[in-house]
Structures are given as C-alpha cells and as structure tokens.
Structure 1
Amino acid sequence: MFFKAFGGAIAAALLAAAALADTPVLRASVLKFGTVNWELDTIKHHGFDTAHGFDLQVQGVAGGSAAKVAFQGGEADVIVSDWLWVARQRAAGKDYVFIPYSKAVGGVMVPQDSPAQSLADLAGSKIGIAGGPLDKSWLILQAYAAQAQGADLEAQTEQVFAAPPLIFKSALSGEVDAVINFWHFLAKMEASGMRKLVDVADAATALGLDPNTPLLGYVVKGEMLRDNPNLVNGLAAASRDAKDLLAADDTEWDRLRDRMNAKTDAQFDALKAGFRAGIPDAGPVDEDAAARMLALMVELGGEDLVGDARELPAGTFLHSGS
C-alpha cells in the first residue's frame, strides 16, 4: 500500500511538473519600487497567473526607460506605460497594445499653511515637477490654469524638474512652494500634513476630458496577441482578479504592507485608498474619451510628446476576447 501511494505521489508530481513546463512564461519588466508591484505580487501569491494559463516572472528595473529598452529588445514581454506612449508607437508603425491598469493621476500639493487657494496664486512660486516639461499632469494643469483663471503657469512660476522621490523630499523639506508628483507620493504628502490644491482629475474634467480614462496600463506586442491571444487575455483576467481582491480585502493589504514603504499608518491608509480609487472600471476603454485626451495632448505637447500621432490609432486598446 505504501509503495502504491508513494508511486502515485511521484506520478502526480511528474504530471504537475510537466504541466508547469508547458505553461507559457510572461516576463514583466517594471520599476522595482512601483505600485504595480503590489498587483503583481497579488497575482503571484494567489496563483492568478497559473489559473489563467501562464507563469508570471517579474523583472525589476531602475527606470521606465530601462523597461522600454528591455521590451523593445525582446528581453521582456510586458511593461507598464501610459497609452499615449502606445499611441505614439503605433503611429510610428510599432504594433503595441495597451491593457488598462490604473486611472490614478496626481495633483498639486502645497504646505498646509500655504496662502495659495488656486493655481493662479502660485505666481512667483517655485514648483517641483516629477518628470520633465512634457509631463502629462503638468500640461493638463497649465491648460486648466489658462482656461479657468487666465494664468500662465509656465511663465509665472519657476519649475524644478526631477525624479519623483527627489520632488517628494523637496516638498517635505520646504525647498519648493508646491509640487506635482505621482499619486502615491501625493498620498504620502497628504498623510504627512500637506494639502491638495488641485487634483489633475478635476482639471481634466474641466477641460472636457473623462477622468475615468485609464492612463497607465500593461503594454504587450501585437504579435503576442495574434499568436497567443489566450496569454494576453489571461494577463488581463489575472490583473482584474488581483484588483477585485485588493478592492475588497483589507487583510491582503496587511500582507503587502512591507512592500509599500509606508512610514506611518496614515501613509499606509492613504496608499491603500489611492490605489483603490485608481482601479479602472471593468470593460472596454471609452475610445472617444481617449481620442479627446490625445487631441489635447497634441495641442499641448505636439510632436515632442506624441510623435506622429494626430488621432487615436486603431488597435491601441485591448478588446476583451480579441
């Protein structure tokens, strides 16, 4: 009986190993400390990848440019970027496809005791901006300030461009009067006592854009979608499974806390709330709304931002089951 049971266990293990060997690997290249790691960790921990027929392998990189180099060079199968970059690449002839990940955007933060009550009040101030002059949030806020308050933010303020962590530190140390940063840094600033002056989502709405349009997402190559649609749709399904869990289960966040770099309970709660607020609706992206955003980016950033893209290229967004 023992040998029969032992032999059965070996056979089962061999079958499991064979099944794993046949499971396609999906290599994701993402920022080592990016918030997407919370979702990817959830996918791996709960086996949402294998449940949807693939083995997710995460490669951490130091910056977005390194991820794009790995992706374009065939060293990675999926990265995280914004769909405006995907549209630019498609307009240049590269067949990339976007799978929505997050609609979370940043905003403008000022010290609690700042006299500023509107963007126009920032005239003469020093603003720290994560990224460069073509940062999407910065462009949207400039357009909003001009439309709503007749203010020229670029001309009337001094801009300091730097990486998000440096902008975060500059804000807390008082080296700048206001900051524009990614949502998770803003959540930490708010938890540390700073206040939000303007939310980019509110500015976008005032400009006629839809704040529910997801800006960030997973990017895959169209070749993979054509050759292995189950793999690409499996990634989308695993992502949704992880989002549903993170949206509803507080204990899952307790498990992730060590990865979140939250120094206080207030920061932890703010990061959790911010991630949940950024979860996009299930279903297809509203392409008309995306086209309006692209048109505004063409107007504000021109060729330097969107390249040859003048209208939304067909096939930019993944359609479920495609």
Structure 2
Amino acid sequence: MTITRILGGAAAAVIMATAALAETPVLRASVLKFGTVNWELDTITHHGLDAEQGFDLEVQGVAGSSAAQIAFQGGETDVIVSDWLWVARQRAAGRDYVFIPYSKAVGGVMVAKDSPAQSLADLKGTKIGIAGGPLDKSWLILRAYAEKTHGMDLAGETEQVFGAPPLIFKSALSGEVGAAINFWHFMAKMEASGMRTLIDVAEAATDLGLDPETPLLGYVITGEMLREQPDLVNGLAAASRAAKDMLASDDAEWDRLRARMNAKTDAEFEALKAGFRAGIPAPGPVDEAAAARMLALMADLGGEALIGEATELPQGTFLQSGS
C-alpha cells in the first residue's frame, strides 16, 4: 500500500516535498561582510540560481579574510573567497584546496587629479598609502614594474604607509598621502571623487609578461568536496557564472543591488558597476602556464613569506572544465 493511499494525495505531497528539501545539500559560504562578492551571492540567492543547481546557498558575513580562512580550515564553512596564490601555498603545504575563479579585477595607483605625477618615476620622495601590507601582491607587481621600466627602487625611493583599504581611501582623498594603491572598488570610489589612475596593476602586469586575464580571486573549496560532491561544486561554478552573466548585462539587477553597494553618489554607483563588470573573467579553463608565470614572479618578489613552499604551480590548484 503506497503512502499516497494511506495519507491521501495532499498529505503525501507535503511529506515528499519535505523529504526532498531535507536532501538538498547546503553550501555554507563565509565572506567579508561588505565585500563585493556579496553582490554576486545576493544575485544567486535572490534569483534561486542555487536551487536551479540543486543546492541551498547560506551566506555568513565575517569581519576579515583571516576569520574566513580559520573557519574554512576548521571545517566550520564550506567555501570562502581568497586569491589562488593562497590556495597554491596551501596545496604546497599539503592542504587539498581548490580554486574556482570569481574575479580578475585588480587595483592600481591613484593620485589627485591635479597631481604633477605622470608615471611611477614621478613619485620619488612621495608618501604612498598601500592597502594591505608589504607583501600585498599589487605592491609587489608595481615594484617590479618600476624597477624594469624606470630603474627605480619604488620601496627605497618612496615612503610607504600601510593600512586597511578604507583608511587608505580616506588618506588619499584628504591629501595625507600623495598616491594610493588600493583595491579596485575603492579605486572606483576614488575616481568618482575626482582622483585619477596613474597606472593600474593590469597594465604593469602585462608589461612584466603576465596575463591580466588570469583571475586572481575565487571561491575556495576542499578537494574532498570536489571528489565526494562534484555536482555541488560544479553547481556552485554554474550558479556563479549565471549570476555574472546577469550582472554583465542587466542594469535593473544593479538597481536592485544598489542599497547594499554603499555607493554615496550616482558616480560611485556607476564606477562600481563598471569595475565589477570589467573584472568578470572569461568562461573556460584558467591558463595554467600564465598562472605559473605569476607564481614565479611572486616567489621572486615575496619569497617564502608570501607563497610558502609553492615555488611551482601545484597540480589541481584550479577547478578546470570537466574537473
């Protein structure tokens, strides 16, 4: 005798729906509370792109990247956002982590609109505000570029002030520093406030023989999840791509997101939207040869303090098509 005959069609349907819901895997994501990745994650959950891929995305905001990494390493969350160089370092140390591309957006150097500086060489003797620390990847790339292009020791010939992105943002606008290196979304706000780009990291990277199309930021999951729940991992990648496609073309979606973008003016809003769109990586596999060149440069510039034992690109760092 079937459950439908015992309980009646309506009651059976409720039980079956509840059972199906209980079987839907939950993917826990821990990301910075005010990070730009939230715009994509909001798009996924609002439009049910996770449900279309057979999972339920739960997003938890954390105060900093270190908190997210600790939660991830302790098994308290399933996915975080980090750069693939961190993933390569962890893999080289024996931790089975995998990177799913999210964004290729990078920062650059901003100066006041009326600054006389036209190149990095003109910053000699200038105080530079830098988001992050001495091993910030953008700072390292710009140092290598200054050495190659201008024969300049950027670290030795300028004064550096390291700090959190919002602090560097405010210091740049107030004129406390003569130039600022910041993340792309703060650069967008700085540009909207009247500053101009002296050079962006993508331009410097290209001059150094790197590929600016290499996505730097991405979702990080465990290799165990990839092996045991490949549909869940590929579902995350597919939901992410669907959200990107929507954000790349649908202005109305950005209007819906505006309240959480912390854009104080229309100019900031448009700059943030344009910056996010410019950072969307192309679909398809990551060029591992290009990534290996970037890793080699980071190893040369930052050494073990930056990339640990990852002197070569560890196999399996990236989730590639067909993984």
**For the residues of structure 2 that align with 1:10 and 1:35, how far apart are their CA atoms?**
43
- In 1, distance between residues paired with 2:18 and 2:227? 28
Q: Does 1:274 align with 2:280?
A: no
Show the 5 A alignment for 1:8-47.
11-47=12-48
- What's the offset of the Cα at 1:17? 2.6
Preserved CA contact (<8 Å) 1:27 1:58: yes
Give the letter aligned to residue 20 of structure 1: L
- Provide Cα deviations, 1:226-259, integer angstroms capped at 9, x if missing partner: 1111111110000000000000100000000001
Alignment deviations for residues 143-199 of structure 1 (CA, whole Å, 9 cap, x no partner): 001101111110011100001111111111111110000000000000110000001
Amino acid of the residue matched to residue 195 of structure 2? M
Listed as ranges, the gaps of 5+ residues in structure 1 are 1-6
Whole-Å Cα distance in 2 between the matches of residues 17 and 139 of structure 1?
53
Deviations 1:101-145 (A, max 9, x none): 000000000001111000010011000000000000000000001
Deviation of 1:14 after TM superposition, in Å, equals: 3.7
Contact 1:233-1:320 within 8 A present in 2 as well: no
Q: Secondary structure at the match of 1:154?
A: coil
- 2:145 aligned with 1:144: yes
**2:5 maps to which residue?**
none
Q: Distance in 1 between matches of 2:22 and 2:136?
A: 42
CA pair 249-10 structure 1, distance change in 2 beyond 3 A = farther
Mapped to 2, the partners of 1:8 and 1:157 lie a distance apart of 76
Instruction: Kindly state the Cα deviation for residue 289 of structure 1 after the two structures are TM-superposed.
Output: 0.3
Q: Distance in 1 between matches of 2:234 and 2:118?
A: 45
Distance in 1, Cα, partners of 2:176 & 2:264: 21
Question: Displacement, 1:9?
Answer: 5.4
SS of the aligned residue for 2:180 comes to strand
Moved more, 14-23 or 237-246: 14-23
Partner of 2:298: 297
The answer as to whether partners of 1:96 and 1:220 remain within 8 angstroms in 2 is: yes
Equivalent AA in structure 2 for residue 302 of structure 1: G
Q: Which amino acid aligns with 2:294?
A: M
Question: Which whole-Å CA distance do the structure 1 matches of 2:49 and 2:15 have between them?
Answer: 22
TM-score by length of 2: 0.96
**Contact 1:233/1:321 (<8 A) preserved:** no
SS at match of 2:67: helix
1-structure distance, mates of 2:123, 2:10: 69
Structure 2 residue aligned with 1:155: 156
Cross-structure match for 2:227: 226
- What letter matches 2:296 in structure 1? A
For the aligned residue pairs, the C-alpha RMSD in angstroms reads 1.0
Quick one: distance in 2 between partners of 1:74 and 1:149?
A: 47
1:214 aligns with 2:230: no
2:199 counterpart SS class: strand
Residue 318 (structure 1) aligns with: 319
* Distance of 1:9 and 1:149 partners within structure 2: 76
Q: Secondary structure at the match of 1:155?
A: coil
**Corresponding residue of 1:63:** 64
Q: Supply the distance in 2 between the matched residues of 1:30 and 1:11 (Cα, whole angstroms).
A: 39
Residue by residue over 1:268-319, the C-alpha shift from the partner in whole angstroms, topping out at 9 and shown as x without a partner, is 0000000000000000000000000000001100000000011100000002
Distance 1:224 1:87 in 2: 17
Gaps of 5+ in 2: 1-7
Partner of 1:3: none
Q: Secondary structure at the match of 2:156?
A: helix
Match of 1:93 in 2: 94
